[in-house]
Structure 1
Amino acid sequence: MIFGLSSILFRSIFQPFRTMASAIPAQTPNAAQNLDKNELYSIGPGFWNVRGRFKILKLIDIETQMSIIQLRNGKFLVIDTVEMNDRLRQEIDQLTNNGEKIEAVIATHPFHTLAFPAFYQLYPKPAYYGTPRHLRRLTDIPWKGDLDDCNIRKKWEPEVEMRIPAGAEFINPQPESSNHFISVFVYHPASRTLHVDDTIMYAEKPGFLLKVFGYKDGAMAFHPSIKNAGLHPTAEAPYLFRDWMRNVLKDWPFDNICCAHMGVKMGGAHADVSALLERAEPLFDKISAKNKKKNPSGELPPGNHPNINVSGDECG
């Protein structure tokens, strides 16, 4: 059963970049290369990123991530979690006064759950906020709030901004085995850094096995599930997501992007994502036409929730 699930994840993630209409090579050099795992790296003023391991079939490390943001009050937000080791805990303890200065821990991706229970055991005092799926699945953590609540997403503005992509299912993504497209985007203006999990993927130096499956150096792409279950199955969904991304690019002049899978791009990230979005236009057209043919009424499947606000932080 474990092997079967891993195989599904393998197929969903390792579709070759060369077959994805949205994939592009990086437009600018990357200042962040060969980052070791489980170490704090300063990405910009008040922003640190940690690369974690996440292996498929026990062979291929597609990585995961955690970011830490320092607020003006001297406290910290932890964005997502990774598996801890002694060295990383010492670094976090030194940065945050043994965790006393961690104000909140925020889970941004519905399916990035594995490291949270252990992190909570180490740091139980901060407030924990998560996606609806985190609140449903990880019941041993006393969650303080749900990121589906716009008031939670606005809690740390203007220092930290959060938005949920339009045109995709956030509350109950299905099927769970492959629809890992959506995540909360987190932007830190002071460091001009964007933290995003599976929605956007970046591969600086993919390993040999990844290259066999078509991953190229410096490739950026939308998560492969955009081509099937990632977006709502309606004709308008691809364009809602596209327009939402356009507003993100207009409102957030980020220079760096931290992607869970599979790396960090320091410098020129805004140009890279802009090029990615522009290159994806034929893909959006294709998905829209397919959805219109299969679902001419444009109705959402049972259990899906409309998400059509393409501007701001969806609080209007």
Structure 2
Amino acid sequence: MTEAIHDLGQGFWTIRGDLKLGGVLNVGTQAGLVRLSDGGFAMLDSYPLTGNIRDRVMQLTDQGRAVRAVLNLHPHHTLHCAGIARDFPQAKLFGSRRHWDKHSNLDWQPQPVESPEVAAMFAADLQFSLPRGINYIDGNDRVHAGSLLAWHMASRTLHVDDTINLMPVPRLLKRFFPKPRVFLHPTMAQAMKPEPDALAELRNWIAELAAQCHDLRHLCAAHSGLRRFQPGEFSRELQAAFRRVEGKLAKAKV
């Protein structure tokens, strides 16, 4: 995976980043840059800005001065919060309570990033979606299925960390499967809430997200990449991805 910044149009740029496990295996990560209706910018997630990517972001944002907010959406993605806070010291810093705990020295805004108050602040440009039926912050640090999704209406782009992924297609199979496959995070079953209606809640949330993103053009998924869709295509694939694992999720509730 190679670092890059892509202009998806209508004021949305996706940053495709590197994240090496053990310094060897590059699983990739992401951030997003959104031009707000008031002329400012918001960063979605934290990523160390260097080289050409940093130059491009600074060029777009008046050397960073126009970045009004940094929204850390995944409670288990905490590595680069301090770095992005240094890059944009004037920006309001939002995160989950887990971000607050991991970086208690940073100047966090008092409202959790997943709160209705934060959603209202950015409603002109972004719609946030918090999965139901699974834990947003799981007690097991290896369970990363929960995250806050950001839907950018103008560009028809969904920015999502871990909850929804794209499965890369091996080179030898691309003739038969040319596009990465949509799938739900492998720890989804472990993230299920211990409540009798948890599976129904998750199923309903998937259906609502599919309807909301019916005309999605771009899916930006952490660790697994970027894919363009035709209208209606993502909704069908998302619901198919849920059906493939529904039986496993049901057993997890027994």
Is residue 157 of structure 1 aligned with residue 118 of structure 2?
A: no
Q: What's 1:268 paired with?
A: 230
Q: What's 1:105 paired with?
A: 70
| Aligned residues: CA RMSD | 2.3
The answer to whether the 8 A contact 1:257-1:269 is kept is no
Identity of aligned residues (%): 24
Q: What's 2:209 paired with?
A: 248
Q: How many residues get paired?
A: 249
Equivalent AA in structure 1 for residue 98 of structure 2: R
| Residue 65 to residue 270, structure 1, CA distance change in 2 (3 Å) | farther
Q: Distance in 2 between matches of 1:62 and 1:206?
A: 15
Q: What's 2:88 paired with?
A: 123
Q: 5 Å matches for 1:65-144? A: 65-144=30-109
Q: 5 Å matches for 1:11-90? A: 36-37=2-3, 39-90=4-55
The answer to whether the 8 A contact 1:185-1:195 is kept is yes
- Superposed CA deviations along residues 61-105 of structure 1, whole A, max 9, x for unmatched, are 111001001012211110012222132221111000011111100
Higher strand residue share: 2
Is residue 288 of structure 1 aligned with residue 254 of structure 2?
A: no
Q: Distance in 2 between matches of 1:50 and 1:219?
A: 21
Q: 5 Å matches for 1:164-175? A: 164-170=130-136, 172-175=137-140
DSSP 3-state at the match of 2:7: strand
Larger Rg: 1
| Residue 198 to residue 174, structure 1, CA distance change in 2 (3 Å) | same
Q: Distance in 1 between matches of 2:231 and 2:53?
A: 27
User: When the two structures are superposed, what TM-score results if normalisation uses the length of structure 1?
Assistant: 0.73
Equivalent AA in structure 2 for residue 193 of structure 1: T
- Superposed CA deviations along residues 188-208 of structure 1, whole A, max 9, x for unmatched, are 110000000000111445689
DSSP 3-state at the match of 1:232: coil
Equivalent AA in structure 2 for residue 192 of structure 1: R
Q: Distance in 2 between matches of 1:262 and 1:269?
A: 21
Q: Distance in 1 between matches of 2:248 and 2:31?
A: 34
Is residue 222 of structure 1 aligned with residue 187 of structure 2?
A: no
- Superposed CA deviations along residues 215-254 of structure 1, whole A, max 9, x for unmatched, are x961221110013x12213442222112111111212332
Q: Could you say which structure has the greater relative contact order, defined with CA pairs below 8 angstroms and 6 or more residues apart?
A: 1
Q: Distance in 2 between matches of 1:273 and 1:251?
A: 9
Q: Distance in 2 between matches of 1:257 and 1:282?
A: 20
Stretches of structure 1 lacking an aligned partner (at least 5 in a row): 1-34, 294-316
Q: Distance in 2 between matches of 1:141 and 1:206?
A: 41
